[in-house]
Chain A
């Protein structure tokens, strides 16, 4: 499966990850600043590229008052 950098695809995948319906991995390429969606089995990685799924899955603080 090709790497996916298309913004719409990234956004769709984030929405799927939000409801635990994605098996793809989210990576960050610091040379371009882009987020990239990859197949879970894709082991290719540009120098410096990092998987950021765990940071995503950690969640975002929500303030309820």
Chain B
């Protein structure tokens, strides 16, 4: 994958912000696919590993984000989140590469001014809601607003 100069500059800026707010993240290549990978720990001290796929047309598309650890990651009843496929109430999209994919931004709500930081903060909040779901049994949309 070769990035334009503009994209490379943008990636550098994104990196400056990500390493400030999510210092555990690092760049990884899977074949030609550039990703940001790292750990987040919820307030309940549950650790999750995330992978953010950098779109080839970045910053014009929503980056996809999956949970790669725990594997499999399950709901409160032990059902794998990938078995939901997509779910409005759990804010999940169809799995990617065998991992559950988190709903963050609707494509119509994305614009190039949004950053990986915005996406990762949503992911962080989503994970806190998942911990809530595991304790209470409420679906994630009990905790998370649907994007209008």
Contact = CB atoms under 8 A, between A and B. Distances in A.
Interface of A: 5-8, 10-11, 14-15, 17-18, 26, 28, 30, 33-35, 48, 50, 52, 55-65
Interface of B: 20-23, 40-44, 86, 88, 91, 93, 103-106, 109, 118, 121-122, 124-126, 128-129, 131-132, 135-136, 138, 140-148
A54 to B, nearest CB: 10
Contacts of B88: 62-64
Contacts, number: 105
Given A18-B143, A65-B86, 4 more contacts: A18-B141, A30-B23, A60-B91, A62-B146
B86 A63 contact: yes
Contacts of A55: 118, 121-122, 125
A17 B118 CA distance: 18
B141 A30 contact: no
B53 to A, nearest CB: 16
Contact of A17 (B40, B86, B121, B145): B145
A33 B136 contact: no
27 contacts: A7-B44, A7-B128, A7-B131, A8-B135, A11-B143, A15-B142, A15-B143, A18-B141, A28-B21, A28-B124, A30-B23, A33-B40, A35-B128, A48-B20, A48-B21, A58-B105, A58-B145, A59-B145, A59-B146, A59-B147, A60-B122, A60-B140, A60-B141, A62-B91, A63-B93, A63-B103, A65-B86
